Structure 1
Amino acid sequence: MLSVLEIIVPLILVILVVLPLVKVFAGKTTLQSARKRLYTHISLFFGLILFVFVWQLSGTSLFAAETAETVSGEFAGSIAQGLGFLGAALTTGVGSIGAGIAVAAAAPAAIGAFSENEKNFGKSLIFVALGEGVAIYGLLISILIINKL
């Protein structure tokens, strides 16, 4: 069961990282201010990563009472298992981004070819489907990685 502290601390950290970009997404900022906010966002993000890394290396725990329970409980795992999950997530994410780039390039060309000649529909559809295949392959490799863990 999660305590209130375990829920509030990550929420505060996420809010602190996202806060500089609120006006940028709303479109109520100048280019100079947007750059400054973006640099602030990037520095907060990497600062947070560095803080968590140093915190984990120091061995201190914010939730010291539950440390013994989590080590012997369901959250016990090795670094290799964590890296395996990270690899599976990266495989799915990068494969999906690659498929998006491929479809973004192939779909307008397919629509243009179809508008010029209706006989090109089948050929152009194959190229769009090949781009989507990259995401499916990434998902398949991700499932194989998770099955090995």
Structure 2
Amino acid sequence: MNAVWLAALPAVLLTAGLLRLGARRPRVRRWLPAVAGALLLSALTTLAVVLLFSAPAAAQAPGAGGAGNWAALLGAAIAVAGSSIGAAIAVAYTGAAALAALSERPELFGRAMVIVGLAEGIAIYGLIVAIILIGRA
């Protein structure tokens, strides 16, 4: 059943993104609700068909196969996603400030790149935590 949600999730997210885009741009508002509605309807139809016609899954023991370590894998995914988003925000702000500083004083290039590199390190920390979690799973 988890695979069903993962299969339908991109269409639902695309629908939400299109609706948000349509709220910002007046030209797109005419045709966007129809496209978003069609995508949402197709995702829900796919979900319903797979749920209705799929065979029930067999239960597994918590330590057998991949069924028991879902919490560690979910924690690893959250660690990577959160640290990557945080690093992206940090690099955006530090990179903009570094470019502004470099436009006035070009000799600050080395220092500015070190600060931007430190912001990139946040993503590496999340990756290390994910590797540790996956290793223990």
Q: TM-score range by the shorter chain?
A: 0.5 to 0.7
Question: What is the letter of the counterpart of residue 109 of structure 1?
Answer: A
Question: What is the letter of the counterpart of residue 124 of structure 1?
Answer: A
Quote how far apart the aligned CAs of 1:141 are: 0.6
Quote how far apart the aligned CAs of 1:88 are: 0.2
Question: What is the letter of the counterpart of residue 71 of structure 1?
Answer: Q
Q: 1:147, 1:11 → 2: CA distance? A: 24
Q: Secondary structure at the match of 1:71?
A: coil
The aligned counterpart of 1:123 is 111
Q: For residues 37-92 of structure 1, give each alpha carbon's deviation from its aligned partner in whole angstroms, at most 9, with x where no partner exists.
A: 7xxx8xx99xx9xxxxxx9xxxxx9313xx34x738x75522xx111110000000
Quote how far apart the aligned CAs of 1:23 are: 5.8
TM-score by length of 2: 0.64
1:29 is aligned to 2:21: no
1:83 is aligned to 2:62: no
Quote how far apart the aligned CAs of 1:103 are: 0.4
Return 5+ residue gaps in structure 2 as ranges: none
Question: What is the letter of the counterpart of residue 55 of structure 2?
Answer: F
Q: 1:148, 1:84 → 2: CA distance? A: 8
Q: Secondary structure at the match of 1:63?
A: coil
Change beyond 3 A, Cα 1:22–1:98: closer
Quote how far apart the aligned CAs of 1:10 are: 5.3
Change beyond 3 A, Cα 1:137–1:75: same
The aligned counterpart of 1:93 is 81
Q: 2:76, 2:83 → 1: CA distance? A: 11
Alignment of 1:1-149 (within 5 A): 13-14=8-9, 17=12, 18-19=14-15, 21-22=17-18, 24-25=20-21, 27=25, 28-29=28-29, 62-64=54-56, 67-68=57-58, 71=60, 75-78=65-68, 81-149=69-137
Return 5+ residue gaps in structure 1 as ranges: 1-6, 49-54, 56-60
Question: What is the letter of the counterpart of residue 94 of structure 1?
Answer: G
Q: 2:101, 2:20 → 1: CA distance? A: 38
Change beyond 3 A, Cα 1:88–1:71: same
Quote how far apart the aligned CAs of 1:13 are: 3.6
CA RMSD in angstroms comes to: 3.8
Quote how far apart the aligned CAs of 1:117 are: 1.0
In terms of fraction of residues, the more helix-rich structure is 1
Quote how far apart the aligned CAs of 1:29 are: 1.3
